[in-house]
Amino acid sequence: MATQPLIKSKQTEKTINGISTQVVCTEFSNYIFIVLTQYGKIGTLISVTPDSRSADISIPMFTTKVLLGKDEALTHVCAKNLTAFVSQEAGNRPVLLGLALKDSSIEAIKAMKDVIKSCRVW
């Protein structure tokens, strides 16, 4: 098919703390879809939505919701930490995140954020 793909997508792989980490970012008009995985699977699916009422306040607020998988506090913390900047940069679009991590230490999360930045599609 000669037609250009309608969906913009970028992917990369990086070893973080000795663990192979894969990222796939996909842009939709109403969502940014990010898969961040150390298992090769989507794992836990989380939506990160900017709160509309905070648009006029300087501190942005987000609502995280586990759509599929184990609903743990740490999952919400990681999701918000990893993707709040994506939502802001993408014009307050919500983010759909597939998260499957072996290592969720703060150093690893910081490194993963940089990997997401390298797959900017928004």
Partner 1 sequence: MNATESGAVGNAITVHDFSEKILEQVVHFHVIRLSGGFFLWVGSKPVLSNLAVSMNSTFDSMPLSTLVLGDASDATPNSLAQRLTKRTKKQVFVSYNLPVTDSNLSLMVENRIKKEMEVHPDKF
Contact at 8 Å (CB) between 32 and 96? yes
Strand (E) or helix (H) holding 109: helix 106-117
CB under 8 A: which stretch of 28-36, 51-59, 76-84, 107-115 binds partner 1? Answer: 28-36
Q: Is the dihedral of CA 100, 39, 95, 45 positive or negative?
A: negative
Does 11 participate in binding partner 1 (rule CB under 8 A)? Answer: yes
Q: Give yes or no for residue 27 binding partner 1 (CB under 8 A).
A: yes
What is the binding site for partner 1 (CB under 8 A)? 1, 3, 5-13, 20, 22, 24, 26-31, 33, 35, 37, 39-42, 45, 47, 67-68, 96
